[in-house]
Amino acid sequence: MADAPRGRALGRHRPSSALLGVVPFFAYTTVFLLIPTLVVLVGAFLDGNNGFTFGNVQALTTPAVMRALRNSVVLSAVTAVGGAVIGGILAYAVSTAKASSVTKRFITSLCGVLAQFGGVALAFAFTASFGMTGLITLWLNNMGVDTGTGFWLYGWNKGLMLVYLYFQVPLMVIVFLPAVEGLRPQWREATETLGGSTWTFWRRVAGPILLPSFVGAMLLLFTNAFSAYATAKALISQGTPLLPLQIAGTLSSEVILGQENVGKAMALAMVVVVAVVMTAYVLLDRRASRWMQR
Amino acid sequence: MSGQRAAYRRRQTAFRWVALTVAVAAFAAPLLGAFDFTTQGPGGNGRTAETWLTLVDVSKVTTDYPALREGFLASVSLAIVTPLVMLLILVPTMTWVRLRLPGLSRTVEFICLLPLTVPAIVLVVGLGPVYAWVYYLLGSSTLWLSLAYVVLVLPYAYRSLDAGLRAIDVRTLSEAARSLGASWFTVMRRIVLPNLRSAVLSASFLSVALVLGEFTIALLFSKKNLQVAMYELGKSDAKISVAVGLLALAFAFLVLFAMSFVGSSTAGSSPFARLRRSRAVRKEPAA
Amino acid sequence: MTLAPTRGTAVRLTDLHRVYGGVAALDGLTLHIEPGEFVALLGPSGCGKTTALRCLAGLEDPDSGTVEVGGHDLTRVPANKRDMGMVFQAYSLFPHMTARQNVEFGLELRGRDRATRQARTAEMLDLVGLDTHADKYAHQLSGGQQQRVALARALAIEPQVLLLDEPLSALDAKVRAQLRDEIRRIQLEVGTTTLFVTHDQEEALAVADRVGVMSVGRLEQLAPPAELYSAPQTPFVADFVGLTNRVRARVEGTTAHLLGGSVPLLPGSASGPEALVLVRPEGVHVEHAADGTASVVSASFLGGHGRVIVRIPDGTLLTVQVANTEVTGFAPGDPVSLSPRGDAALAVAG
């Protein structure tokens, strides 16, 4: 199946021995990437007896799943926009520092850590800080804010959003900073000599130039939040208000026989959403790099 | 210095300091809270360093928290094995494609970037049957998770190695070496690899970072790595798990910070940054 | 629509000083440019020529000194109010706009109505020869084309002064020569006072009315190209502009004796009894002589002329220019004799 397109791509005068060199790679990715993807793709349409069915896909329309899907989309969208705006401003602030300054290294290292190692450690840090004896609870109480029962943290549309922002904003800084730094000083100077003010520069030059990168980064933030599992798992102990949690739920042994493939249908839905957003991201990224290269 | 430009520069610096201070304070708040939590005495009264003292005492950790030790060792071994497997698979393949099979480069790139559209949770669902075979044929050691981790790390490692290969113009170098009589193996070993050092380091570093932070696949495959151990510990002994989490974050930060001085690209490096560095950029001299 | 009538504005830079990083980028630079004149600032990197241009543009503030344009003191005026057109070395076109939009940008900022803008833009693009590429983006244009658009954009706003910061340095040799002549042609047509910064002496000599040679923040000499070449006032200028031979000579008053002949010395030369005279390749005559004390090291045919490198008894290597028809007659090792042609030269101690 893979040989035909390969043969066409290679042309006529290719010694077949050279192909042997890439066999390990293709074998590996077939087993650990392509087959799992196929398992999900195909399994979504199989019933308990491996017969074709739309039942799994229909099961996606049950209230529980629809709710999880909606919640995931809302959570991802809100934290993507919030993270993009805050992270964008921060990225601009960092870009104004000298190229090799310690401040810049410090901030980018901090963002690198928080973006990658979110999940469990971050969730625990929040639980500790917002708990009954937590530091932040005490601060808030001192300022007169009633923190109530403390369950605010575990609501998917409350505390969880705040925790998500804690790795969304750093991710935005990491992804968007190169774009901001790619703004050439000559563009600013050219705007000035042509008579433009700082506002003109941002509105007519820097803004439009950065827009594809900004939106692209925001899309990346969306898929990041949409796919996130660890943080949600660490904070939400009851119920499955988010899609990744629902999918994980179908993997446990409590699932009714014949219903495991509903999880695959959910996974397929997730892949579709992510694939669409990532395609948009790639297109925007390509446009941005075309402008920045010159 | 005098004049409007200096004033503008001063405003910019002020904005930078304000923005970054606010940001760092905001990011530090929960971490501070976590640290405060770990030093609280019983019932929330008083201060005690008991948690940290326990952690430092390695033998105590081993006896009291065997799961933690097991998870830590598992993550460390995975962090060693995963980059090795990744390099073993990617470096020869990418070099080979560049030198001998350029028509395949788009296919390889597509496959390597595909994991970006397959979230870890989805991969877990699809890997079920695959890992059933892996366990059957190769045993059920936690180390086999590295095979899945390599897939997760493919996009980032590919980008890093691709930039490295492009920067050293592999084609010209290998042609020069071949014309002097070197075999393909020699070209790989003595020409390509030494010049790829920084890209290899960067790709390995990205892999290590990903492995140490990975939770989803390990948990759902019922394996114990560092993150899973921390998570389970959180249910029984909150203080220790929070302390371990802080330690992990602090350690990762120190490593990243130190690496930024060495000059290799960090986890967030993008093609923009690399492209920009390779062009002559005339910057206004800093005040 | 006709081009704007000649808008010459005088430029006066007076005693500019600028220090950063502990280094004096400008160390008392004074420069007067006549209305409509094309002045080139020439010098090695780090000499301050770019800093001087940027102070004039307002992109940098001098520590002291004044910038006057057309009689107005602009020293404290921000860059976006100085009404100058600037062409940068590279990357100055806005990547998200077409060539046409780039050129229109300055006109939009000045509030010109649509009809005026479009007419003026078309005129400018036609002037630089890119009317057929008007709707292309920067990344679709070659380096030379991009610089033309940058020039059109700078001129579209009818600036008081045109500033060019090494506009050709990033281009291929062939494009460079073509474009520099075009820039000069356009400048003569439009008549704007122009300051052109470059490190390439051939460029500066070819296009400027006057050339200012700079070194470590100071102006060494400001003169028309021919005068700069034949009557350098300092050793730096003599060395930097054109090829120079340094020949040991005996000095008597204002005459130097070398290579079996004598040469009048330019004012500012070192006094005797011994000195090094800076002689141009075309200021030396070489011919075959069986008993000659000098010998040929190499001979090169360079198209329009030829060049022979000769070693004289004291070991010095001299570069001598010969007619292209004669150069092939010189082979390495041939004995030759040299004599000065008598052009005035500068002498330095040494």
Q: pLDDT by residue (tens digit) across A218-271?
A: 999 999 999 999 988 888 877 788 889 888 888 876 666 666 688 888 899 999
Q: How many domains does chain C have?
A: 2
In chain C, residues with a C-beta closer than 8 Å to the C-beta of A189 are 57, 59, 79, 86, 88, 92
Q: Is the peptide bond before C44 cis (omega within 30 degrees of 0)?
A: no
| Antiparallel, parallel or unpaired: β C64-69 and C161-165 | unpaired
Average pLDDT over residues C220-242: 90
Q: Nearest-CA residue of chain C relative to A205? A: C94
Task: Please indicate whether, in this complex, the C-beta atoms of A10 and B101 are within 8 angstroms of each other.
Answer: yes
Average pLDDT over residues A22-48: 88
pLDDT value of position C258: 87
**Is A50 domain-assigned?**
no
Range of the domain at A107: 62-293
**Is A192 domain-assigned?**
yes
Task: Please indicate whether, in this complex, the C-beta atoms of A21 and B92 are within 8 angstroms of each other.
Answer: yes
In chain B, residues with a C-beta closer than 8 Å to the C-beta of C59 are 5, 284
Residues C97 and C25 in one domain: yes
Task: Please indicate whether, in this complex, the C-beta atoms of C88 and A197 are within 8 angstroms of each other.
Answer: no
Q: How many CB pairs under 8 A join A and B?
A: 299
Pick the range with the lowest mean pLDDT from A199-203, B112-116, B155-159, B187-191. B187-191
Task: Please indicate whether, in this complex, the C-beta atoms of B3 and C61 are within 8 angstroms of each other.
Answer: yes
Range of the domain at C323: 243-348
**Is B59 domain-assigned?**
no
pLDDT value of position B275: 31
Average pLDDT over residues B64-71: 84
Task: Please indicate whether, in this complex, the C-beta atoms of A121 and B246 are within 8 angstroms of each other.
Answer: yes
More confident residue, B1 or B237: B237
A24 lies within 8 A of chain B by CB: yes
pLDDT value of position B268: 38
**Is B61 domain-assigned?**
no
Shortest CA gap A35–chain B (Å): 7
B4 lies within 8 A of chain C by CB: yes
CA C53/CA C73 separation, integer angstroms: 16
Residues C271 and C219 in one domain: no
Q: Nearest-CA residue of chain C relative to B9? A: C60
Residues C228 and C247 in one domain: no
Residue A28: is its pLDDT beyond 70?
Answer: yes
Shortest CA gap B249–chain A (Å): 7
Residue C256: is its pLDDT beyond 60?
Answer: yes
List the single residue in A22, A39, A122 with the smallest CB-CB distance to B129: A39
Helix %, strand %, coil % for chain B, to 5?
85, 0, 15
Question: Beta partners for C311?
Answer: C295, C317
Share of chain B above pLDDT 70, in %: 88
List the single residue in B1, B4, B280 with the smallest CB-CB distance to C78: B4
Q: What part of B 91-150 touches A (C-beta under 8 Å)?
A: 92-93, 96-97, 100-101, 103-104, 106-108, 111, 114-130, 147-148, 150
In chain C, residues with a C-beta closer than 8 Å to the C-beta of A288 are none
Task: Please indicate whether, in this complex, the C-beta atoms of A193 and C138 are within 8 angstroms of each other.
Answer: no
SS3 state at B3: coil
State the Rg of chain C over Cα: 24
Shortest CA gap C37–chain B (Å): 28
SS3 state at C270: coil
Whether the model pTM is above 0.90:
no
Q: Which of C207, C188, C182 is nearest to C197 (CA)?
A: C207
Tokens of A218: 């925001």
CA B1/CA C63 separation, integer angstroms: 6
CA C53/CA C117 separation, integer angstroms: 28
**Is C294 domain-assigned?**
yes
Task: Please indicate whether, in this complex, the C-beta atoms of C95 and A194 are within 8 angstroms of each other.
Answer: no
Question: Beta partners for C219?
Answer: C214
Residues A109 and A164 in one domain: yes
The CATH number linked to B92 is 1.10.3720.10
Q: Nearest-CA residue of chain B relative to C60? A: B5
**Is A30 domain-assigned?**
yes
A209 lies within 8 A of chain B by CB: no
**Is B246 domain-assigned?**
yes
Tokens of A74: 């809302």
What are the residue ranges of helices labelled H in C58-172? 99-109, 114-127, 143-156
DSSP letter at C271 equals P
CA C325/CA C306 separation, integer angstroms: 8
Residues C160 and C289 in one domain: no
Residues C295 and C315 in one domain: yes
- In residues, how long is chain B? 287
Residues C173 and C252 in one domain: no
pLDDT digits (tens, 9 = 90+) for A174-208: 889 988 988 888 999 999 999 999 899 999 999 99
Residue C6: is its pLDDT beyond 60?
Answer: no
**Is C238 domain-assigned?**
no
State the Rg of chain A over Cα: 24
B287 lies within 8 A of chain C by CB: yes
Residues A36 and A92 in one domain: no
**Is C237 domain-assigned?**
no
List the single residue in B3, B6, B282 with the smallest CB-CB distance to C89: B282
Pick the range with the lowest mean pLDDT from A207-211, B37-41, C112-116. B37-41
Residue B93: is its pLDDT beyond 80?
Answer: yes
**Is B286 domain-assigned?**
no
In chain C, residues with a C-beta closer than 8 Å to the C-beta of A293 are 139
Average pLDDT over residues A37-45: 87
Residues A28 and A105 in one domain: no
CA A147/CA A137 separation, integer angstroms: 7
CA B168/CA C3 separation, integer angstroms: 51
Q: Nearest-CA residue of chain A relative to B33? A: A129
CA B126/CA C295 separation, integer angstroms: 84
Q: What part of B 164-203 touches A (C-beta under 8 Å)?
A: none
Tokens of C333: 């090792």
pLDDT value of position A256: 64
| Antiparallel, parallel or unpaired: β C161-165 and C193-198 | parallel
Residues C24 and C163 in one domain: yes
CA A43/CA C209 separation, integer angstroms: 80
| Antiparallel, parallel or unpaired: β C274-279 and C284-288 | unpaired
More confident residue, A155 or C45: C45
Residues A69 and A182 in one domain: yes
As a dihedral over the C-alpha atoms of residue B255, residue B27, residue B25, residue A147, rounded to 10 degrees, the angle is -150
List the single residue in A22, A248, A292 with the smallest CB-CB distance to B101: A22
C59 lies within 8 A of chain B by CB: yes
In chain C, residues with a C-beta closer than 8 Å to the C-beta of B287 are 20
B19 lies within 8 A of chain A by CB: yes
pLDDT value of position B267: 37
pLDDT value of position C8: 80
Task: Please indicate whether, in this complex, the C-beta atoms of A128 and B38 are within 8 angstroms of each other.
Answer: yes
- Pair B162, B94: CB distance under 8 Å: yes
Greatest alpha-carbon pair distance for chain C in Å reads 80
**Is C257 domain-assigned?**
yes
Angle at B205 between CA B200 and CA B208, to 5 degrees: 125
Residues A103 and A178 in one domain: yes
Residues A9 and A131 in one domain: no
C298 φ, ψ (degrees, to nearest 5): -160, 160
- Please, what is the average pLDDT of chain C? 90
Q: How many CB pairs under 8 A join B and C?
A: 22
Q: Nearest-CA residue of chain B relative to C59? A: B5
CA C180/CA C204 separation, integer angstroms: 9
C89 lies within 8 A of chain B by CB: yes
pLDDT value of position B23: 92
Residue B286: is its pLDDT beyond 50?
Answer: no
| Complex ipTM value | 0.81
Residues C199 and C257 in one domain: no
Q: How many CB pairs under 8 A join A and C?
A: 76
Residue C251: is its pLDDT beyond 60?
Answer: yes
Residues C265 and C331 in one domain: yes
Tokens of B186: 């020699």
pLDDT digits (tens, 9 = 90+) for C54-112: 999 999 999 999 999 998 999 989 988 998 999 999 888 999 999 999 999 999 998 88
CA B8/CA A191 separation, integer angstroms: 16
Pick the range with the lowest mean pLDDT from A204-208, B107-111, B165-169, C69-73. B165-169
List the single residue in B5, B280, B282 with the smallest CB-CB distance to C61: B5
Residues A265 and A134 in one domain: yes
Residues A251 and A186 in one domain: yes
Task: Please indicate whether, in this complex, the C-beta atoms of C21 and B2 are within 8 angstroms of each other.
Answer: no
Residue C30: is its pLDDT beyond 90?
Answer: yes
Range of the domain at B256: 67-278
**Is C248 domain-assigned?**
yes
Share of chain A above pLDDT 70, in %: 87
pLDDT value of position C207: 94
SS3 state at B18: helix
Residues C28 and C162 in one domain: yes
Residues B168 and B36 in one domain: no
pLDDT value of position A257: 61
Confidence class for position A284, pLDDT limits 50, 70, 90: confident
Confidence class for position A88, pLDDT limits 50, 70, 90: very high
Q: Which residues of C31-66 are buried (b: 16+ CB within 10 A; e: fewer)?
A: bebeebbbbbbbbeeebbbbbbbbbbbbbbbbbebe
Residues B245 and B213 in one domain: yes
N-term to C-term CA, chain C: 61
Residues A272 and A192 in one domain: yes
The CATH number linked to C334 is 2.40.50.140
**Is B224 domain-assigned?**
yes
Share of chain C above pLDDT 70, in %: 98
Confidence class for position C128, pLDDT limits 50, 70, 90: very high
The CATH number linked to A100 is 1.10.3720.10
CA A81/CA A115 separation, integer angstroms: 16
Q: How many domains does chain B have?
A: 2
Residues C257 and C280 in one domain: yes
In chain B, residues with a C-beta closer than 8 Å to the C-beta of C81 are none
pLDDT value of position A258: 60
- Please, what is the average pLDDT of chain A? 83
Average pLDDT over residues B204-228: 88
Task: Please indicate whether, in this complex, the C-beta atoms of C76 and B3 are within 8 angstroms of each other.
Answer: yes
pLDDT digits (tens, 9 = 90+) for C150-188: 999 999 999 999 999 999 998 998 899 999 999 999 999
Residues B32 and B158 in one domain: no
Shortest CA gap B85–chain A (Å): 11
**Is A56 domain-assigned?**
no
The CATH number linked to C173 is 3.40.50.300
Task: Count the neighbouring beta carbons within 10 Å of the beta carbon of residue B59.
Answer: 7
pLDDT value of position B287: 31
In chain A, residues with a C-beta closer than 8 Å to the C-beta of B209 are 112, 116-117
Shortest CA gap C215–chain B (Å): 19
In chain B, residues with a C-beta closer than 8 Å to the C-beta of A97 are 16
What are the residue ranges of helices labelled H in chain A? 3-10, 17-20, 23-29, 35-43, 55-59, 63-95, 102-116, 120-130, 135-142, 159-181, 185-193, 198-200, 207-227, 230-235, 243-249, 260-293
Task: Please indicate whether, in this complex, the C-beta atoms of A193 and C84 are within 8 angstroms of each other.
Answer: yes
SS3 state at B10: helix
Of A69, A89, A117, which to mutate for an interface test with B (greatest number of B Cβ within 10 Å)?
A117
Q: How many CA atoms lie within 13 A of C348 on its CB side?
A: 15
Residues A204 and A259 in one domain: yes
Average pLDDT over residues B207-211: 86
Confidence class for position B170, pLDDT limits 50, 70, 90: confident
Residue A247 Ramachandran class (φ > 0 left, ψ -120 to 50 alpha, else beta) = alpha
B11 lies within 8 A of chain C by CB: no
Residue B266: is its pLDDT beyond 60?
Answer: no
Last residue of a domain, one of C232, C261, C287: C232
Residues A124 and A266 in one domain: yes
Task: Please indicate whether, in this complex, the C-beta atoms of B267 and A32 are within 8 angstroms of each other.
Answer: no
Residues A68 and A39 in one domain: no
pLDDT value of position A148: 62
Q: Which partners does chain B have (≥3 C-beta pairs < 8 Å)?
A: A, C
**Is B164 domain-assigned?**
yes
Shortest CA gap A183–chain C (Å): 10
Residues C159 and C49 in one domain: yes
Task: Please indicate whether, in this complex, the C-beta atoms of C59 and B284 are within 8 angstroms of each other.
Answer: yes
In chain C, residues with a C-beta closer than 8 Å to the C-beta of A186 are 88, 90-92
Q: How many domains does chain A have?
A: 2
